[in-house]
Amino acid sequence: MATQRTEGSSSRVVAALRELAIPVVSVAIAMGIGSVIMMIAGFDPIAAYLAMLKGGFGGGRQIGETMLRATPLIFTGLAVAYGFRAGLFNIGAEGQLFMGGLSAAYLGIVLAGMPRPLNIVLMVVAGAAVGAAWAFIPALLKAKVGAHEVITTMMFSYIARYLVSWLVTGPLKAEGQIPQTNQLPVESTLQKLHELFPFLTPSRAHLGFLIAVGLALLMWALLKYTTLGYEARAVGFNPWASETAGISVPATTIKALCISGALAGLAGVTEVMGVHFRLFDQFSAGFGFTGIAVALLAKNNPIGVIAAAILFGALSAGGGTMQLEAEVPQKVILIIQALIIFLVAAEQISRWILGRTVRKEVENAG
Amino acid sequence: MLADIITPDLFASAVRIATPIALAAIGGTISERSGVVNIALEGMMLFGGFMGVIGTSFTGSPWFGLAVAVLSGMALALVHAFASITLRTDQVVSGTAINILALGLTGFLMEVIFGHPGTTDPIARLTPLFRFSGPTEGVVGTVWMWINGVVFSHTPIVYMAIIIAVVGQWALFNTRWGLRLRALGEHPRAADTVGINVTRGRYSAVIMSGALGGLAGANLTLEQVGSFTENMTNGRGFIALAANIFGHWTPVGSYLAALLFGFADALQIKLQLFRDIVKVPSQFFLMLPYVLTVIVLAGVVGRAVSPAAVGKPYEKG
Amino acid sequence: MGPPLIEVREVTKVFPGVVANDRVSLSLHRGEIVALLGENGAGKSTLMNVVYGLLAADSGEILVEGKQVNIRSPRQAIDLGIGMVHQHFMLIEPLTVTENIVLGTEPTRAGVIDFKKAREDVREISSRYGLAIDPDAVVRDLPVGMQQRVEILKALYRGARVLILDEPTAVLTPQEVHELFAVVRSLVAEGLSVVFITHKLEEVLHVADRIVVMRDGRVVGETRPSDTDAAGLARMMVGREVVFRVEKTPQSCGGTVLEVKDLHVFDERRLEAVKGISLSVCAGEIVALAGVSGNGQTEFIEAITGLRKVESGTVLLKGRDITHAAARESIEAGVSHVPEDRLRRGLVVEFDLMENLILGDHRRAPFAKHGIFDFTAITEVSRRLLKDYDVRAPSESVKAGTLSGGNQQKLVLARELGRDPDLLVAAQPTRGLDVGAIEFVHEQILDERGRGKAVLLVSLELDEVQSLADRILIIYEGRIVKEFVAGEASDEELGYYMTGGGGDGAAAGAEGVITSDGNPAN
């Protein structure tokens, strides 16, 4: 962390580029393997990727759509990344997201008629708290009896989904046939970005994106400048040394998983407040799981999470266009996502390829 | 009402529901005993189940489908083994990637092959192995109904699971394979120093667990349902890992723990039939296995001791 | 005398940044005990790992009975009759003695292990070489000396003709060491050959037929016990004269700093590990707690540093009750702790030096205010500490994991002493360090004493205990069984009490452990 102060700016750039190289190469290889799969299945990968690119970045509206889809992924990516930093794998971000969404869908109706800024603040804070609360029991079990959070948070995510499923078909169901909650009044929703900044092309992108980016910066600062982040990292790296140094490992574990849950909860809040304006069974497209890929690709760096989420957001936004124009099933994106996780996690593959190209450059230069 | 709930069918259905969880749990036992965490069982089950359906629908033979399912589970396991043993990737991360991969591959292939998402066309199923007729009258009839219902009503993989559990238990503690497997997960370096090939031992264990995951998937699609639905495993792979822990990393223990889950699930299905009397929304019943898993983990983990080297990649020298 | 049983010719092994073995040659004849002497890091273990097939040499050759061999795995080494007892035992703790011994060469019928035959084989070998052991005992329940015996039996079971013992005495009491020497001699009488790796001079003079000295990856000399003495060997080993005793000023008690009364502590398995220990440490005094590993020292230290729950008894620091203080409160009360395992408990190797230097003090001014770090203060203090404690590192922002063992330990000392504690608890502070670093650590500990601090030293190294301590307390099975004033007791006397009052008693105690735990709990 002090590298920046002691080393020159040029070496800092080189180091940053080197950090970037592996994720970039991983994405490239994953897309390459993805095209092979598409070719085997009889599709044209070039047409598919072009359609995807068009759908993701083809214009202001498309970029807006990418931002829209990146928004929940920034939250879940940050959630998973913060957990990883503390040595915890929050595989159940999906469940915390559902609970965050539930809280927003409920509170948004209760707060009808109140001023919009107040509603936004209250709903965001409450959603984060509910997400944290949903992570609390797995956190407590991890801290007290060592129950593995991978299984417990996963189970809690199934429980959350059935809970939401019950509420939207029963107690919170709106009038009509469809199992969903009532639509939120406008004062309980997030503004579209083009409403806030009139010079932007109209799109579905909403204020949640800015909140997400703001939180990413906040988390970066938290990890670097605060004792809270320091203790989380210490426990993540070496719980025994942390314990010896007087850091409470159980307390740090609980705090970290709850912060992670709060971040994941916000993904649900902004989806409800900014996209659907209500809650229903299928309101999340597996954002909790994609968050894992986002965090890994970003190497748990909060700023990297923004970039990785935008990439996955674009894949998702472009996926529709791809299915429409190149007729490739959108599911191929999941395959590419899985491959990216593999390649980023198994750094050697990318390093090996990078090593070869570097060596070639050296040979060519010499 | 109690007589309507406590029927041979309840216990038979407990055994049926327990089967995929038990197979995956034993897969988890074998893999973790060798020192490799396998949270990819969920994906192996899913992929195996799907490929079993494909194999069956192309040949018309569910037995061929079963073989394809097992081989597919093994293929995914090979990926996990390569990533976590050879490349020393974080085993949980690799497992997560495989779960997502299985979700993507099955969804993608379904649209390519069947032309639509959701559920595949129905296929020929594996049928119950025995079809005995017996007395139907009196006490003898009741006893026979229970025995026939609970013991003889099942499809082949259900029996395979029981045999695998028993044979696996015996083999783990009595054979060379078992001793070496236990050594690998406790202290791979010690195993290495007496000439046991750690890499090969772990590869074979992970692939074996993949075969069991595939078999579990085949049970779901080829025996229980008769078709494949996207993400139909629904967390069973994770429940299986909890069952493995609850069973103290032994095959029979895993089976019995799975049976507990199976019974809870069978009971909730049965109770749903009495929705008019038991006024509880179905979602709460559906939550039960997951809640039970958390309770089991909360209660036992403190006392259960996992293999010492589980999750740690082995580096020579 | 035909060709040597084993001959190593010009073996070179390079690790990134270190030449561990530089054209090393060595030979071993039948019925011979060769001691391989050298400091930690001299390359002894590397050489033997090459011979045992655990590491591949970069160049050089190995001959067995005059024939060149290519040993690529332990399996091949075993087949050639080479057995090795590693410094860190290669035993699988939850398995039984028999299972451990036969692992890898199990007697089987169609893949099924013939446990009856295995057990008989183990009994047969153990009686042939006089190494009594219960074949059905679970290894986890055996004392260290017995575990080592299992390791030796493992090699013999595989038909070893050559036995490599890597630092075999590091974990043993003086009595166990004597027993081991007897075992080694009886093995040699049976026609085996032994390579004895050690850095302890006395042992070498005691047991070896021939002594090969290594330094910095090279063989620097070869001699026989009759032709040399400890000082001569030390000169060869270190490359300069070595002072064996540390100079110390006379001690006077400046008031009690640590007072422990009737402390009872449990271990992980809820067994009583500390059974009523009372002790006190004065300001300006070094008290050594000497004992064989596993006699409750670890639990005792963890209890007084707030890492383990105290069942009953009290711990007072300058009269203040810290019995139930958490680690954080203990640090804030003035207790510094140099832990036994610095990589596990002492450092976060992924953290840079600054982050490691504030570990434990990271919440306090000047490092942090209201939970926010002040990097200017952190950098300033870090640079001063690194300089004061002679930590050799390119900058304060390199990762702790990149430092050598000695520098890592200095880093721990810099942090723990830099906060100016009232009490220093140092556990095995010189384990695995080279001579230079050991001297530095000893100086620092004596400096603390000189500044009127209280020091509680826990050590297995009798040399260290004898040269540093003002008082020596012997811990055995969770109790203080004897107290000595410095210079009062010989190593043999210390060893006598460390094993519970004598060799026979210790052996009987060990047997008792085996039989009482003979039936595995699960």
Q: Return the H-helix or E-strand segment holding C406.
A: helix C405-418
Task: Please state the pTM of the whole predicted model.
Answer: 0.85
Contact B155, B223 (CB under 8 A): yes
> What residue in A sits closest to C303 (Cα-Cα)?
A244
Contact yes or no for A89 and B92 at CB 8 A: yes
Structure-block tokens of residue A181: 């909650």
Cβ neighbours of residue C476 under 8 Å, at least 6 residues apart? C291, C292, C295, C497, C498, C499, C500, C501
Contact A148 B287 (CB under 8 A): no
Question: Which chains does chain B touch, 3 or more C-beta pairs < 8 A?
Answer: A, C
**Best CA proximity match to B293, nearest among A261, A134, A157:** A157
DSSP letters, A349-365, are HHHHHHHHHHHHHHHHH
Residue A60: Cβ-neighbour burial (10 angstroms; 0-12, 13-18, 19+): middle
Q: Do A1 and C326 touch (CB under 8 A)?
A: no
DSSP assignments along A139-161, one per residue: HHHHHHH---HHHHHHHHHHHHH
Paired tokens of B312: 């740690």
- Is C347's CB within 8 Å of A238's CB? yes
CA distance, residue B288 to nearest chain C CA (Å): 31
Position C487 scores a pLDDT of 83
Count of CB pairs separated by less than 8 Å, A with C: 86
* pLDDT at residue B1, rounded to an integer: 65
**Across the interface, do A150 and B238 touch by the CB < 8 Å criterion?**
yes
Tokens of A16: 């940053």
CA distance C92 to chain B (A): 6
Any residues with CB less than 8 A from the CB of C176 and at least 6 apart, and which?
C144, C145, C499, C506
Read off the amino acid at residue C55.
Answer: L
Name the packing angle between helices A149-169 and A93-110 (round to 10°): 30
What token pair was written down for B176? 């060379």
E-strand spans in C167-271? 193-198, 210-215, 218-223, 256-266
User: B272 or C243, which is more confident?
Assistant: B272
* Collapsed DSSP state (helix, strand, coil) of residue C476: strand
Cα-atom radius of gyration of chain B, to the nearest Å?
20
Rg (CA), chain C: 24
Work out the minimum CA distance from A122 to partner chain B, whole angstroms.
29
B20 preceded by a cis bond (ω within 30 of 0)? no
Q: Is A33 on the interface with B (CB under 8 A)?
A: no
Interchain contact A350–B (C-beta under 8 A): no
- CA closest to C359 among chain A residues: A245
Q: Which residues of chain C have a Cβ shorter than 8 Å from any chain B Cβ?
A: 49, 52, 54-55, 73-75, 78, 84, 86, 89-95, 99, 103-106, 108, 111-113, 115, 154, 158
Q: What is the pLDDT of residue B72?
A: 97
Kindly list the residues of chain B whose beta carbon comes within 8 Å of any beta carbon in chain C. Answer: 174-177, 179-180, 182-183, 186-187, 189-196, 308, 316-317
Pick the residue from chain A with its C-alpha nearest to C304. A244
Report which of C66, C2, C35 is spatially closest to residue C222, judged by C-alpha positions: C35
Query: Contact, C24 vs C10, CB < 8 A?
Result: yes
pLDDT digits (tens, 9 = 90+) for B101-159: 999 999 999 999 998 888 998 999 998 988 888 787 888 888 888 888 888 889 999 99
pLDDT bin (cut points 50, 70, 90) of residue B270 is: confident
Amino acid in position A66: T
* DSSP H or E segment with residue C36: strand C33-37
Partners of C210 in the β-ladder? C34
C444 Cα to chain B: minimum distance (Å): 34
Preferred mutation among C47, C92, C163 to probe B, highest tally of B CBs within 10 A: C92
Which of C287, C298, C293 has its CA nearest to residue C424? C287
Plot region of B282 (φ>0 → left; ψ -120 to 50 → alpha; else → beta)? alpha
Q: Under a CB-based contact definition with an 8 Å cutoff, are residues A26 and A344 in contact?
A: yes
Q: Testing the interface with B: which of A341, A347, A349, A352 to mutate, by most B Cβ within 10 A?
A: A341
Q: What is the pLDDT of residue C243?
A: 54
Angstrom distance (rounded) from CA C410 to CA C295: 27
Identify the pLDDT of residue A224: 94
Query: Cβ A1–C355 below 8 Å, yes or no?
Result: yes
Q: Is the pLDDT of residue B173 over 70?
A: yes
Cα distances (angstroms) measured from residue C213 to each of A134, B96, C184, C241: 63, 52, 20, 15
Residues of C whose CB is below 8 A from B186: 92-95
**Tokens 């040269």 sit on residue:** C467
Q: How far is B172 from chain C (nearest CA, A)?
A: 10
Q: Which residues pair with C315 in a beta bridge?
A: C260
* A40 in contact with chain B, both atoms CB, cutoff 8 A: no
Which pLDDT value is given to residue C176?
Answer: 81
> For testing the chain C interface, which of A223, A224, A238 should be mutated: the one with the most C CBs within 10 Å?
A238
- The sign of the torsion formed by the CA atoms of A196, A199, A205, A209 equals negative
User: Per the CB < 8 Å rule, is A163 touching B287?
Assistant: yes
CA B299 vs CA A151, B243, B292: distances in Å: 14, 12, 10
3-state secondary structure at position C187: helix
Q: pLDDT tens track of chain A, all 366 residues? A: 333 344 445 666 777 777 788 888 889 999 999 999 999 999 999 999 999 999 999 989 999 999 999 999 999 999 999 999 999 999 999 999 999 999 999 999 999 899 999 999 999 999 999 999 999 999 999 998 888 898 899 999 999 999 999 999 988 888 888 899 989 999 999 999 999 998 889 999 999 999 999 999 999 999 999 999 999 999 999 999 999 999 999 999 999 999 999 999 999 999 999 999 999 988 998 899 899 989 988 989 999 999 999 999 999 999 989 988 988 998 899 999 899 988 888 876 777 666 655 544 444 443
Place of tokens 């090795």: C84
Q: What subunits touch chain C, counting only 3 or more CB pairs under 8 A? A: A, B
| Chain B hits for C116, Cβ within 8 Å | none
Residues of A in Cβ contact (< 8 Å) with B284:
162, 166
The residue of chain B nearest to residue C50, with distances taken between CA atoms, is B317
Q: Which residues of C touch A (CB under 8 A)?
A: 305-307, 326-332, 337, 339, 344-352, 354-355, 359-360, 362-363, 368, 371-373, 375, 379, 395-397
Q: Which residues in chain C have Cβ-Cβ distances shorter than 8 Å to B317? A: 49, 54-55
Amino acid at A14: V
Q: Is B194 in Cβ contact with C113 (below 8 Å)? A: no
Question: Of B223, B227, B245, whose CA–CA distance to B298 is shortest?
Answer: B245
Q: Which residues pair with C37 in a beta bridge?
A: C198, C213
Does B298 sit within 8 Å of A341, measured CB to CB? Answer: no
Q: Do the Cβ atoms of A348 and B39 come within 8 Å?
A: no
Give the bridge partners for C213, in sequence order. Answer: C37, C221
Q: Which two three-digit tokens encode residue B152?
A: 């003889």
Sorted by sequence, the CB contacts under 8 Å of residue C39 that are 6+ apart come out as C199, C215, C237, C238, C434, C435
Half-sphere exposure of C466 (CA within 13 A, CB side): 14
Of the partner residues C344, C359, C371, the one whose CB lies closest to the CB of residue A245:
C359
DSSP class of C258? E
CB contact under 8 A, A238 and C328: no
Pairing of strands C108-109, C112-113: antiparallel
Low-confidence ranges of chain C (pLDDT < 70): 1, 17, 240-251, 501-522
ipTM for the predicted complex comes to: 0.87
Instruction: Tell me what pLDDT residue A361 has.
Output: 45
Question: Looking at residue A280, what DSSP letter applies?
Answer: B
Provide the pLDDT for residue A356: 55
- Which burial class, exposed, middle or buried, applies to A199 when counting CB atoms under 10 A from its CB (0-12, 13-18, 19+)? exposed
Tokens of A223: 């990890």
Residue to substitute from A84, A228, A230, interface C, most C β-carbons within 10 A: A230
C442 and C242 Cβ atoms separated by less than 8 Å: no
Mutation pick from B172, B182, B194 vs chain C, by most beta carbons of C within 10 Å, is: B194
Q: Do A42 and B302 touch (CB under 8 A)?
A: no
Q: Where are the alpha helices (DSSP H) in C129-191?
A: 144-157, 174-189
Distance CA A6, CA B293 (A): 51
Residues of A with CB below 8 A from C354's CB?
1-2
Query: Which A residues, 195 through 254, put their C-beta within 8 Å of a C-beta on chain B?
Result: none
Q: Across all residues in chain B, what is the average pLDDT?
A: 91
Token match 């074949």: residue?
C135
Lowest mean pLDDT among A184-188, B161-165, B255-259, C433-437: C433-437
Among B93, B116, B300, B310, the strongest candidate for a mutation testing the A interface, having the largest count of A CBs within 10 A, is: B93
Q: What is the CA radius of gyration of chain A?
A: 21
3-state secondary structure of C505: helix
Site from A334, A343, A353 to mutate, B interface, most B CB atoms within 10 angstroms: A334
A91 vs B: CB within 8 A: yes
Please give the pLDDT value at position C508: 34
- A171 reaches B (C-beta below 8 A): no
pLDDT tens-digit map of B62-110:
999 999 999 999 999 999 999 999 988 889 889 999 999 999 999 999 9
